[in-house]
Structure 1
Amino acid sequence: MAMLGLMLVAALCLGSASAASLGAVLTEGGMVSGDNYAVSGLFRYMDVFKGIPFAAPPGRFEKPKPHPGWDGILKAKDFSNRCLQLNLLQTDTRGNEDCLYLNVWVPQGRKEVSYNLPVMIWIYGGGFIVGGSMGGNILNNYLYDGEEIANRGNVIVVTLNYRVGAMGFLSTGDDGLPGNYGLWDQHAGIAWVHRNIRAFGGDPDNITVFGESAGAVSVNLQLISPKNKGLIRRGISQSGVALCSWAINRNPRELAELIATKVRCPTDDKMTACLKMTDPVTLTLAGSLNMDGSADAPIVNNLVLSPVIDGDFLPDEPANLFVNAAEMDYIIGANDMDGHLFAGIDVPSLNQPIQHTPLEDLKTLLAALTKEKGPQAAELAFGEYSHTWGKKPTKEEIKRAVVEAETDYIFLVPTQAALYQHNSVATTGRTYSYLFSQASRNPTFPSWMGADHADDLQFVFGKPFNSPLGYWPKHRDVSGYMIAYWTNFAKTGNPNEGESKVPVTWPAFNKETHKYVDIDHRMGRNSVKQKMRMRFVYYWTNIYASLPTISE
């Protein structure tokens, strides 16, 4: 037995000595070198490059430009700065204007370096005001570390930075400050990957972009923008699409004038010149958003530093641009209680286990969400969300209705509309729908709580595997399922076909059956369902939409 152990150690040492590695890689800007190390699995290794510039330091309120390049070998071993942004308390800033960098994870076997692998590019969320390519960090364990996806799915993972907040999305609604600089950054990163990824062993003609929340909206916008023709093969949007109420700011001038006033710039024809000369930290702080929601002023309505229809990157309303994604495969989904994060701010009693949520809070919230259609819409909405109640609703029924209303309005209903839109115009592109319902791990939440906003991220990035002490076996199950579906889809355009085994066949979405998979740790044949929350989708997309809009 001792001899067997020695032989195994010797084999591992020999494997390590002959591990496949890219070494220094030639990119369009110059040579880059990263790290190579062993990962889980027999004779499995990972080449990792952190902080590769994909564009020059951006000019203020300008589109990104090509990087001039460098001499020698660039050591790409550390994450770059985040783009300049507010801290989480909105009291100060962090990050840097010089921030257009990306990171690459390349899985390797023992002997030959990988070749022609599918590529997955991650676009982070954060309401278009915060975020970074590496994500949050606990004890050097970064949320958006691509190792588990790359290793378990045998794909190349890329994460990239883009400008956020005022520096990424401030717009005057005209040619002065057209906006969408963050979207142009994402596009520049995608284009860089398309031009350079072959040198890392990737297939430039098999690129999947995936993202969550504002990153999911960004994925949708990248798919439908005519600027990405020929660059992207597929997309995955997790909890966000271009049809969300918060995805597009249709009155950017109002916000620009508000920020201009904060930084003491005029709001006349000299405003643009003044804003361009203003200190970027001052501008970023002036772009802070009101995060104090209430039932009569839901926080979702404050997310206004967002993309605009600029006549360039987005030449038309998003609903009219889906035809540009007709040949792209697309997975779109939401978490079953995505709205809880927002509802807990708007209605604080929601997360107080002993405290009742007044029925009036639900009515006030629905009135605020349907404000543009008037009192009739609010009454109809209340009828929908209370239709299963008896004469005296329970505490839980009222609280769940608050969460469901915000989930439907902010995420789930626009997601269903986007699924239908893509499927309706698709030619060769396939459409897939999912609902993520793995219960939240937050012990302070009520027992009826499902998957909150962003709860899916830890599973997509394999945290139950690289932080096993913090999770149960069931969490590794659901993480394995998601990585398998996501990476199979990146390889073939079909989440069921690829190198990874899946728990149940995921049928494509179509406008007759509206089939989807319900993703949790118990997946089996009962996980294939259809017509997700159809009653509520019908209310918002048909009944509510058909009501006349009232004047302010």
Structure 2
Amino acid sequence: MEMFGILVAVAVLLETVSAASLGVVYTEGGLVEGTNIRLGYKHHMDVFKGVPFAAMPRRFEKPTRHPGWDGILKAKEYQKRCLQLNLLMNDVRGSEDCLYLNIWVPHVGGVVSSNLPVMVWIYGGAFLLGGSMGANFLDNYLYSGQEIADRGNVIVVTLGYRVGSLGFMSTGDSKMPGNYGLWDQHAAIAWVHRNIRSFGGNPDNITIFGESAGGASVSLQTLSPHNKGLFKRAISQSGVATCPWAINKTPRKFAEEVALKVNCPTDDSMADCLKMTDPTVLTLAGTLNLSSSPDSPLVYNLVLSPVIDGDFLPDEVHNLYHNTADIDYMAGVNDMDGHIFTGADVPSVNSQLVDTPIEEVKRLLGSLTKEKGTLGLDNAYSTYTLDWGSKPSRETIKKTVVAIETDYIFLIPTQAALYLHASKASTGRTYSYLFTEPNRLGGILSPFPGWLGADHADDLQYVFGKPFTTPLGYWPRHRSVSGYMIAYWTNFAKTGDPNKGDLKVPVTWPAFTSNDHRFLEINSKMDSSYVGQKLRLRYVNFWTSVFPNLPVVTSE
């Protein structure tokens, strides 16, 4: 027995001595050292947290290259998120010095990795908040790349970018053109392209992926001519460039509101005054009005967003899809993505015991179709109530309200983006999905109704492998979904085809083409019956063909 103990000790010692690790890595800014963690026998991972990809940004200017450092930078802790409002919007958190990224590099079989595919994550948060590490629960960060990197054998990178006033405020002219957060993302992608080989990555096989405002950011990065050749593939989850909240058409109006709050003039000297204003004051002044009603839906209040600046985005987004011709693109939505908005606009939707008045459904539709007047409302109402019958149930009405906002805010724009990508593709492939794993909080004792499908952001926990990280918080079916998503996502990152790679998938996912619009429904029960065609065709047809061709109402 003693002999056995000695042999085990020797084996552990030998493995520790030969632990696969990159050690100190050479980057353009200087030397960096991360943390090496042991995941199993001959199975290690290097984690680098807080690697600078740009200098501390100057206010309302594009990021610049980092000047570098002497000695070895210890990259072992997440750096602060970019200066932003807290969730209650009554205080700020974070720092202006925030352009850092984090890297997870898996090593399998005791050999240091080389030439691995790279996946670069862009977080969401309405362009208003968020961080490269995501929400933290008991030191378990949402955007830890460990599970994806380990299971998919890919390098995962997460990055920070400016949000809120400092990231997206624009005067609508060359003095303060905006899109600073998008430039930060671009600088991080470019840094990864230039440096990732030193970390064992393949600079010619980079996939960018993101969710919500991060998904829209991914989409915008594919459209910008500034990213030519920097990445090969892209995944947008619940957010694309064509979403109604992704581009602010009237940025000057919001900039003037902020200027008045911080005692700056609204004339030609506005930009100069804003640049000299305390960043905390600027951030606090950039609060959005999050109170809403059926007559003033929340989606119209998300005004701190990217702009058509003539530089990063040289034209309207639908005219830029030629730039995506050689990029493989995967995009999709959650089946009840709009629920988070509906809960604010029509609160009765979440009450199990209260009817949602049909009048509120009409008011909401009226707000979303207002430029087409009564004709727009009547057409929309008849489209959404076609299957109601004479006495629709309480649940039917509530589900319809959620469907209306899901369609308008996420699903229809995503179908449009997929169609535009497929129609301009030369070598780039296109894939469409609908995520339908029911929300874990829906049910009798919960604030949410039992019929709730996948709400906005419900996909994140599965893509980042949380059912494996914290198994006690999930059922086996949740591990199934997480395994499926990591397989499809990392296969796609490796080969441009979610079915081909190192991981087996439960169902073959057909490509989306301009003719057949095929998609995959993702959930724990998947089999071949979950491959569909022409997702929500009646509603896509209404919003993309019928509605745009109705005459615009000119007010007096």
**Which of the five TM-score ranges fits, normalised by the shorter chain?**
over 0.9
* 1:349-401 CA distance string (max 9 Å, x none): 11111111111111100001111221211111111111101111110011000
Give yes or no for the alignment of 1:268 onto 2:271. no
Q: Corresponding residue for 1:28?
A: 28
Looking at structure 2, the residues matched to 122 and 12 of structure 1 have their Cα atoms a distance apart, in angstroms, of: 35
Q: Which moved more, 1:489-498 or 1:8-17?
A: 8-17
Matching of residues 454-469 of structure 1 within 5 Å: 454-469=457-472
CA shift, 1:170, in A, is: 0.4
CA shift, 1:5, in A, is: 8.9
CA shift, 1:545, in A, is: 1.1
Note closer, same or farther for the CA distance 1:208–1:390 as it changes in structure 2 (3 Å cut): same
Looking at structure 1, the residues matched to 393 and 6 of structure 2 have their Cα atoms a distance apart, in angstroms, of: 65
Q: Corresponding residue for 1:541?
A: 544
State the SS of the aligned residue for 2:117: strand
CA shift, 1:14, in A, is: 3.5
CA shift, 1:7, in A, is: 6.1
Whether contact under 8 Å (1:107, 1:156) holds in the other structure is yes
CA shift, 1:192, in A, is: 0.2
Whether contact under 8 Å (1:105, 1:156) holds in the other structure is yes
Q: Corresponding residue for 2:416?
A: 417
State the SS of the aligned residue for 1:374: helix
Looking at structure 2, the residues matched to 4 and 347 of structure 1 have their Cα atoms a distance apart, in angstroms, of: 67
1:539 alignment partner AA: F
Give yes or no for the alignment of 1:428 onto 2:424. no
TM-score by length of 2: 0.97
Q: Corresponding residue for 1:106?
A: 105
State the SS of the aligned residue for 2:441: coil
Looking at structure 2, the residues matched to 4 and 299 of structure 1 have their Cα atoms a distance apart, in angstroms, of: 66
* 1:70-113 CA distance string (max 9 Å, x none): 00000000000000000000000000000000000000124321
Q: Corresponding residue for 1:160?
A: 159
Looking at structure 2, the residues matched to 236 and 3 of structure 1 have their Cα atoms a distance apart, in angstroms, of: 53
Whether contact under 8 Å (1:19, 1:110) holds in the other structure is no
Matching of residues 290-329 of structure 1 within 5 Å: 290-329=289-328
CA shift, 1:551, in A, is: 3.1
Q: Corresponding residue for 2:451?
A: 448
Q: Corresponding residue for 1:473?
A: 476
Note closer, same or farther for the CA distance 1:524–1:275 as it changes in structure 2 (3 Å cut): same
Matching of residues 301-380 of structure 1 within 5 Å: 301-380=300-379
Whether contact under 8 Å (2:20, 2:42) holds in the other structure is no
Give yes or no for the alignment of 1:209 onto 2:208. yes
Which structure 1 residue ranges, 5 or more long, are not aligned? none
CA shift, 1:447, in A, is: 1.9
Looking at structure 1, the residues matched to 474 and 205 of structure 2 have their Cα atoms a distance apart, in angstroms, of: 33
Whether contact under 8 Å (2:235, 2:330) holds in the other structure is yes
Looking at structure 2, the residues matched to 222 and 7 of structure 1 have their Cα atoms a distance apart, in angstroms, of: 54
Looking at structure 1, the residues matched to 12 and 375 of structure 2 have their Cα atoms a distance apart, in angstroms, of: 70
Looking at structure 2, the residues matched to 524 and 115 of structure 1 have their Cα atoms a distance apart, in angstroms, of: 35
2:281 alignment partner AA: T
Which structure 2 residue ranges, 5 or more long, are not aligned? none
Q: Corresponding residue for 1:56?
A: 55
Q: Corresponding residue for 1:151?
A: 150
Superposition RMSD on alpha carbons, in Å? 1.4
CA shift, 1:138, in A, is: 0.3
Whether contact under 8 Å (2:238, 2:456) holds in the other structure is yes
Looking at structure 2, the residues matched to 366 and 333 of structure 1 have their Cα atoms a distance apart, in angstroms, of: 23
Aligned length: 551
Q: Which moved more, 1:529-538 or 1:41-50?
A: 41-50
Looking at structure 2, the residues matched to 2 and 136 of structure 1 have their Cα atoms a distance apart, in angstroms, of: 47
1:399 alignment partner AA: K
Looking at structure 1, the residues matched to 492 and 7 of structure 2 have their Cα atoms a distance apart, in angstroms, of: 39
CA shift, 1:201, in A, is: 0.2
Note closer, same or farther for the CA distance 1:238–1:5 as it changes in structure 2 (3 Å cut): farther
